Structure 1
Amino acid sequence: MTAARTLAFARIGADGGADVERRAIAEEVPVAIECNGLGYAVLMASPDDLLDLGYGFALTERLIDEAGDMLDAEVHALEHGLILRLTLSQRAAIRVSDRVRHRTADSSCGLCGIESLEQAMRPLPPRSAHWAGEDQAVFAALQALEKTQPLGVATRAVHAAAACTEAGSIRLVREDVGRHNAFDKLIGAMLREGLSWDHGFALLTSRCSYELVEKAALSDCPMLATISAPTALALARARTAGLELRVLTRPDALLRPIA
């Protein structure tokens, strides 16, 4: 399945004129994630780089700690979408069964929500590498980013997540209709290829939500830059994890949280 298709639209002008315009439209399909035979989650995602998505999702869900915990990953097409089957190591399998058990309990017992809230706010690991680059690197990466987003340029409907060097060169990009999926795909691609952040940073075409901060922290990213604004929880979670942030990045300015 391709990540975009071309469809025809009636283009209506403000002056009353009309003609036909053909545009590339991003695909969005349900992707069921199955871990060791257990249904774990269903995501709405772009149907490409799904093995990267599986690795990144498993890492940022704290199901695996390293690439070696992923024993196998396969994508299968079904009538109504795709299924991503992950086979995880024994230690990871225990985490999966515990998580699935809690999710099943949540649907029938309100008290179990207390455990879910505690899980949602679990401590984040501190950075082993800290950002020591210059903010000019973010401007350089932002300027170069569009040239590395073929799906985004074609559809104007997807997010991109880029791994950037300390100097601002773009090393790797992944795209998806969902900002979380794009970042998971990037993290998963790096995990599969044995790449570290190497004192670089992540640049995302989205707002800075707490989930993205958590994914950055769990992948040991030194700094996260986003083109839109942060939430208060994202700022708080980044501060406790020692994760540097740059937000509202524009060609002429960016914001660096200082409090």
Structure 2
Amino acid sequence: MARSPSTPYPAVQWRAGRSLEDLARDLPREIAVGLSLGGRPHTVLMATPQDLEDLARGFVVTEAIARAGDILGVTVTEEERGVLVDVRLAPGAVARKARPRNLEGRSSCGLCGVQRLADAVRPLPVLGAGARIRHEAIPSALAALEDRQALGRLTRATHAAAFFDSDGALVLVREDVGRHNALDKLAGAMAREGRDAGSGFVVVTSRCSFEMVEKAVRMGCPILVAVSAPTELAIAKAQEANLTLVALARADGHAVFAGGERLVEAALEPA
């Protein structure tokens, strides 16, 4: 039986100058997700229990474990203490060893359990030209995403990652209590549906650390837009990979930190 992504909990509301009030609040669920590769345990992620096949597919791609086309299948098994997700890869598909981990991956952390510094910050592939978009497409995308965050509206406690085409139309959105998980779910959904990540841009409703840049690059997406600020390392990795990095995105504007050539003014577009 599928697990609900949220559950109602009682609480007591305090407000200045008012009596205490009972209330019920829907909160996001966070469960242990054991990820294995061909039956061999790899890591445990703390995630919201929906779109777990997409989470596994995206994790394999954005962690550079294997290519999307090398994934033969994903099996999701409910257990009493969580969910087991096994990814079956084509024989000989693993071109490099996955980053070894010895701890669970917490929902707030993209690199929990990584044992070596060399595995934490790895070289990235360089993106091609990819899509170009109008500056105006970004606030339009933010507005569209707000309307599509069903779990976020219900709980006010989750992140979202969404893909938009070059015209700013929303294509796919995924949500999770963890920002890395939301982006991995999006990457997995894109891969599963055979969508070209180079044809548009990704928006994340979170801060932009370098792991988010890494995941967007390994998806093959040329433009990453974040609602909050980037770190210095995120900007450096975006420049290294030829990624356009936009952050501090709001309805009335945004800041471009890298790859500004992919953003154009509507008035300057050729007729």
TM-score normalised to structure 2 length = 0.86
Does 2:256 align with 1:256? yes
Q: Where does structure 2 lack aligned partners over 5 or more consecutive residues?
A: 103-114, 260-271
Q: CA deviation at 1:22?
A: 1.3
Where do residues 58-207 of structure 1 align in structure 2 (5 Å cutoff)?
58-67=60-69, 69-93=70-94, 95=96, 98-99=97-98, 103=101, 116-207=116-207
Counterpart residue identity of residue 256, structure 1: V
CA contact (8 A) 2:57 2:68 kept: no
Whose helix fraction is larger, Structure 1's or Structure 2's?
1
Distance 1:132-1:84 versus aligned 2 partners, 3 A rule = same
Counterpart residue identity of residue 19, structure 1: E
Indicate the residue corresponding to 1:111 in structure 2. none
Identity %: 41
Q: CA deviation at 1:205?
A: 0.1
Where do residues 204-219 of structure 1 align in structure 2 (5 Å cutoff)?
204-219=204-219
Q: For residue 92 of structure 1, give the secondary structure of its aligned residue in structure 2.
A: coil
Where do residues 213-232 of structure 1 align in structure 2 (5 Å cutoff)?
213-232=213-232
Distance 1:172-1:258 versus aligned 2 partners, 3 A rule = closer
Where do residues 2-81 of structure 1 align in structure 2 (5 Å cutoff)?
2-67=4-69, 69-81=70-82
Counterpart residue identity of residue 123, structure 2: P
CA contact (8 A) 1:139 1:168 kept: no
Distance 1:226-1:258 versus aligned 2 partners, 3 A rule = closer
Supply the RMSD in Å over aligned alpha carbons.
1.8
Distance 1:14-1:44 versus aligned 2 partners, 3 A rule = same
Whole-angstrom CA distance in 1 between matches of 2:222 and 2:198 = 9
Q: For residue 124 of structure 2, give the secondary structure of its aligned residue in structure 1.
A: coil
Counterpart residue identity of residue 6, structure 2: A
How many matched pairs?
Answer: 245
Q: CA deviation at 1:157?
A: 0.4
Counterpart residue identity of residue 81, structure 1: G
Distance 1:212-1:218 versus aligned 2 partners, 3 A rule = same
Q: For residue 152 of structure 2, give the secondary structure of its aligned residue in structure 1.
A: helix
Distance 1:216-1:245 versus aligned 2 partners, 3 A rule = same
TM-score normalised to structure 1 length = 0.89
